[in-house]
Amino acid sequence: MSTDLIQIYINDRPIIELLDRAIARGRDMSTPFQEIATVMQYAVEENFLQEGRPSWVPLAEATIAERQRKHPGSTMKILQDSERLATSITSASDAFSAQISTDTIYAAIHNFGGPAGRGHSVTIPARPFMVLLDDDLEEVIDILERHLAGE
């Protein structure tokens, strides 16, 4: 099993400032980080449901033909042939962090794209699923602001 890891770093100035304020006040961050982990997991699940936000590169004709041959009547949803990747996303949090992860060995090639297959004979397009949109970041900001306000 691979130990490769996809990490999402939120480098958003308002979020960093709110975290700095919470740390300076010595606030227990367990609850907000649990909520943030949930927001992140939901965002990634939404990426799969919408087949990318923004939309992923469509499936290649050869991929469509192979899926139809193997699974007649398949939905042809991108990155969801077996649903293994989409259902592997988990979240975790503690007093110091919030994270989402997957244990699938092929997650990185689908997220970032690149050469794959025997002899790296095909190039898989990037279909970023481990991403947060501005709306998702706004939810994170709301969570932190509520926490700092004592709610």
Percentage above 70 pLDDT, the chain = 93
Strands (E), the chain: 90-93, 98-101, 114-116, 122-124
Residue 22 or residue 46, greater confidence: 46
* pTM for this model (two decimals): 0.86
| CA-based nearest residue to 78, from 39, 124, 119, 118 | 124
pLDDT, residue 7, reads 66
Model confidence at 2, pLDDT cuts 50, 70, 90, reads: very low
